[in-house]
Structure formats: structure tokens, C-alpha cells
Amino acid sequence: MSFSTKQAILDYCILNNIEISEDTAQKFEALSDELEKFNAHTNVTALKTREDIAIKHFADSLAVLKYDLIKKNANVIDIGCGAGFPGLPVKMLRPDIKITFVDSTAKKLKFTSSVAELFEMSDVEVCPERAEELVSKGKREKYDVALSRAVASLPVLVELVLPFVKVGGCFVAYKSSLEADTANKESELSKAMGGIKKLGGKVEAVLDASLPGANDETQKHSLIVIRKTSRTPDSFPRRYAQIVKKPL
């Protein structure tokens, strides 16, 4: 029996109490088709099988919807989205939100734009720019929720993302459970704690986002929820080279 992306997404959503219709689940089949076609001429994902794409891209992206983190009509930004993950799957289930996709690689955002057009998504903005440069173009502290997945280590990521989040909003970072473990002083979260405080954030929760088959350590994922409690000083973000060389 051939693999069904639709059924895999339905199963994942039912298991995690995420509301989804049959019609929306069917769209993930079409999304997989589009990703395969686009990837044939422009490499936007290393995942090749439909099962890997369904679980490791689509279901993984939807993990944020297990929790009440994105309020109705929220203004959301996806930093370093690549081909549109996690933002595209989230938008497919939550058409009420406004979403801005940000990535420095324009060719990947062509896929994001084509899918948004194919599914007639409204309130979608695509920005082929570096995050640390975009924030000064009217984007500082404008978003209720920022999402980021598989982009950079958390000590680097918090400086790129938190300046976009309004006070009271949150940044949700998709990370492996190992890197979200504060008991491990060498984890990304442990190393980012000082920077999070300097940037006006506070770690609110570390939530389970494990993929199906999480008996494998590589499938154990977490969502790190960082609440914005005060304004980010205007001196941040610094230039990318500085951020990477000396994380806060």
C-alpha cells in the first residue's frame, strides 16, 4: 500500500487534538506533490521520501498547534523559513492568522510564494532578506508570535528573532529535546539564557513536540517558548558576524 500523506497528517492531528478537516488534510498531499516537483529543479529540502516529508516537515511544523500559543488573528513571523516550514503547514490549518515568511535564500521563498498562491492564502508576506537587516524596516516588535525551526543555534537565534516580537508576545523555537534540556549546561537553551534576558525575554515553557516513533532520540523534539517581557534594546540585533562570533 502506498504511503498516504493525507492519512499521516490526519493521524498526527487526531493523536494530538489538533483540529483539522478532511479537505485540509488532502491539501498536504498536494503540498507534498508541489515540494517534490520544485525540489527536482531547485533543491529546497534534503528529505526525499513522502513519508519523511510528511512527518519531518509537515507534522513537525504542526506541533505548535498542540498548544494554545497562537491566538485567533495573530500576526506571526517565520524566521529562516526555508521553503516555508513551519509557517506553511501552520497557515494551512490556521487561515485566520497573518504570516510573514523570512529567509535570506530567495529561491526557497519562490516555493513558499507559489504554494501560498496555489492554496489562495490571504495575509501572506514574503521577505527574501536577512533577519538582522529586515527588523529595522518597520518590523521591530510588530509580531504576536515568532516561529523558527532548524535555522541556527539558540544563542544566535534569540538575537535574530526576539527583536521582531512585541512585548507580551512569544518566540517559539523548534529544537531537539537534548538542546532544550536546562539540566545540561552545554545545551543550546542553557547557553542562551543570558542572551534571552538581555533581549527582553523569559523562558516560559519547554513543551513536548516529539514526532511519531519518538523512541528514537532524533525524533524527540521540543518547543521552547520564550515570552517577551520587555522591549529589546535598540542596539540589538548586531551584525550577523558579531552575533555568531560572540553570542550574548
CA atoms within 13 A on the CB side of 49: 7
Q: What is the pLDDT of residue 48?
A: 79
* Under 8 Å between Cβ of 218 and 172: no
Q: What is the pLDDT of residue 248?
A: 94
Q: What is the pLDDT of residue 214?
A: 61
Phi and psi for 133 in degrees, rounded to 5? Answer: -95, -35
Q: What is the pLDDT of residue 201?
A: 98
In the block, cell 519518538 appears at 214
pTM: 0.96
Terminal-residue alpha carbon distance, the chain: 51
Handedness of CA 109, 143, 117, 11 (dihedral sign): positive
Residue type for 196, please? I
Reference 91, options 130, 64, 68, 52; nearest CA is 64
| Grid coordinates given for 81 | 523559513
Average pLDDT across each block of 10 residues of the chain; the chain has 248 residues. List them in order. Answer: 91 96 96 92 84 94 98 98 96 98 94 95 97 96 96 96 98 96 96 98 97 75 98 97 96
Q: What is the pLDDT of residue 40?
A: 87
| Grid coordinates given for 65 | 498547534
Domain boundaries, the chain: 71-245
CA atoms within 13 A on the CB side of 68: 0
Domain 71-245: top CATH class: alpha beta
Q: What is the pLDDT of residue 126?
A: 97
Reference 12, options 55, 48, 50, 70; nearest CA is 55
**Spatial separation of the C-alpha atoms in residues 153 and 238, rounded to whole Å:** 16
